[in-house]
Amino acid sequence: MSESRTYDVITLGAGAAGLFFAAEAGRRGKRVVVIDHAKKIGEKIRISGGGRCNFTNIHTKPENFLSQNPKFAISALRGFTPQDFIGRVEKAGIAWHEKKLGQLFCDDSAQQIIDMLVDDCRAQGVVIRMETAVEKVSRDGEIYHVSTDAGTFTAPALVVATGGKSIPKIGATGLGYQLAEQFGLDIIEPRPALVPLTFSGDVLEMTKGLAGVSVEARVSADPETQFGKRKAKRRTEFSEGFLFTHRGLSGPSILQISSYWREGGSVTVNLSPEKSVYDALRQRRAAGGKVEVHTALGEVLPKRLATSLAASEGWRGNLADWSDAKIDALAQRVHGWAVKPAGSEGYRTAEVTLGGVDTNGLNSRTMEANSVPGLYFIGEVVDVTGWLGGYNFQWAWASGFAAAQAV
């Protein structure tokens, strides 16, 4: 049924940023409508954190985010902190725990975060319109008109919270980028991030054979090609879980480095960051007896990985016959296994989208477009992308909160 509605604010996108913004703006007395084309509300929250939603990270700092303008996020992140969000979670009676590295998860289910946001919206009188397709957005004087298949909505403020392009299957589209362009804002080219890396040739054969094997590894990207190399003072590296898959490499350390990796660049993996392979093999040799090199290496690395590496590198024979120099060369390979990804799994599996609305066109305190009064961009659609570990939701809350104080 067609209808015409006038509000104080129209929000596009009922995801993390849009819902949080809407409740906050509602609390400040604004009449808010949230429009989303998806059937289910907050789908990305539901599938986040393995179903338990890693809703923030207590160590959040601006350095945990990638952006062409690394200082842009500072103000919003200060204005609404992880402690502020924890306060909301506790008030809603949601039990939570820290898993590791400051990552906070619901004890029970991500649905609790969705319920908290939706309940808060309802309490503030926010109208949520799901399954509503946006057909056209225009600005007439100071008023925005959003034409949808359920009629036209009008308001003096438009907040774009349509997220990035990751996981199109659950509703991601490029609408936010199109609107930014329509209103003359620049876009930093979007690309999949926090995504498994894919390989071809010999490395693919090896990863296929090792699918399912995991280690704690330290992974870094080639500084010549990595994102933001002009500003990188040191090599970016992550020490976390690392997983071989049928298509290549995954696990938290690989997802993290995928945000920094660029086509043509290599990724260097320290497969034994905590234990010196050189020392371990020399000690093993000193212990005497006959032991194959791959067997000795299998006492430091998972056996399947040691066997596969030894086969592909030609490490054969009795360890007793290996010189220090030969052991050193082997150890250096294990501590610095450099591989060149062919690509990534793309938006199909990427957890986030790097790039987005160029922050040079936005006010960092309010998220409003500098050149278009009343137009705001919040959440993942903005060129601010967090590391894995709750940072992306913290950006959604913080940027939504900043805009809600300003509309």
Q: Which is nearer to ligand FAD, 89 or 301 (CB)?
A: 89
118 binds ligand FAD, rule: CB under 6 A: no
Q: Which is nearer to ligand FAD, 240 or 380 (CB)?
A: 380
The single residue among 7, 9, 10, 17 that binds ligand FAD, judged by CB under 6 A, is 17
Residue 51 gets the label, from left (phi > 0), alpha (psi -120 to 50) or beta, of left
CA distances from 301 to 104, 271, 297, 306 (A): 30, 8, 6, 6
163 near ligand FAD (CB under 6 A): yes
Question: What are residue 54's DSSP bridge partners?
Answer: 105
Q: In this chain, which stretch among 171-179, 261-269, 304-312, 359-367 interacts with ligand FAD, using CB under 6 A? A: 171-179
Q: 70 by DSSP, 3-state: which? A: coil
Nearest distance in Å: CB 50, ligand FAD: 8
For ligand FAD, give the closer residue by CB, 195 or 296: 195
Query: Shortest gap between Cβ of 223 and ligand FAD (angstroms)?
Result: 26
The site for ligand FAD, by CB under 6 A, has a size of 36
Q: 163 or 361: whose CB is closer to ligand FAD?
A: 163
44 lines the binding site for ligand FAD (CB under 6 A): yes
Host H or E run for residue 250: strand 248-250
We find the least distance from the C-beta atom of residue 163 to ligand FAD, in angstroms, to be 3
Residue 211 binding ligand FAD, by CB under 6 A: no
Q: Which residues pair with 97 in a beta bridge?
A: 105
Which stretch in 9-17, 232-240, 268-276, 280-288 sits in contact with ligand FAD by CB under 6 A? 9-17
Q: Are 393 and 54 in contact (CB under 8 A)?
A: yes
Which among 13-21, 112-120, 180-188, 279-287 is the span making contact with ligand FAD, rule CB under 6 A? 13-21
Q: Give the binding range for ligand FAD (CB under 6 A) out of 78-86, 165-173, 216-224, 356-364.
A: 165-173
Measured distance CA(177)–CA(179) in Å, rounded = 5
The sign of the torsion formed by the CA atoms of 336, 339, 341, 344 equals negative
Q: Does 196 bind ligand FAD (CB under 6 A)?
A: no
By the rule CB under 6 A, 36 interacts with ligand FAD: yes
The dihedrals phi and psi of 306, each to the nearest 5 degrees, come to: -60, -45
Whichever of 61 and 316 has its CB closer to ligand FAD, that residue is: 61
Which residue has its beta carbon closest to ligand FAD?
Answer: 15
Please answer whether residues 76 and 402 qualify as being in contact, where contact means their C-beta atoms are separated by less than 8 angstroms.
yes
38 contributes a contact to ligand FAD by CB under 6 A: yes
Distance CA 299, CA 301 (A): 6
CA quadruple 10, 18, 371, 76: dihedral positive or negative? positive
Query: Which 335-394 residues touch ligand FAD, going by CB under 6 A?
Result: 351-352, 379-381, 390-393
250-289 residues near ligand FAD, rule: CB under 6 A? none
Largest CA distance in the chain: 86
What whole-number distance in Å separates Cα of residue 188 and Cα of residue 192? 13
In whole angstroms, how close is the CB of 319 to ligand FAD at the nearest point?
44
Helix (H, G, I), strand (E, B) or coil at 317: coil
Which of 67, 124, 154, 166 binds ligand FAD (CB under 6 A)? It is 166
Shortest CB 292 distance to ligand FAD, Å: 42
| CA separation for the pair 145, 147 (Å, rounded) | 6
β-pair type (32-35, 127-129)? parallel
Q: Give the CA radius of gyration of the chain.
A: 24
* CB of 166 or CB of 272, closer to ligand FAD: 166
* Listed ranges 41-49, 92-100, 196-204, 360-368: which one lies at the site for ligand FAD (CB under 6 A): 41-49
Stretch that binds ligand FAD, among 47-55, 233-241, 245-253, 264-272 (CB under 6 A): 47-55
Member of 92, 127, 150, 175 binding ligand FAD (CB under 6 A): 175
Contact 129, 35 (CB under 8 A): yes
Half-sphere exposure of 7 (CA within 13 A, CB side): 30
Q: Is the dihedral of CA 298, 301, 302, 308 positive or negative?
A: negative
22 or 291: whose CB is closer to ligand FAD? 22
Dihedral through CA 348, CA 350, CA 356, CA 362, nearest 10? 130
The SS3 assignment for 28 reads coil
Residues that bind ligand FAD (CB under 6 A): 12-18, 36-38, 44, 47-49, 53-54, 134, 161-163, 166-167, 171-173, 175, 351-352, 379-381, 390-393, 396
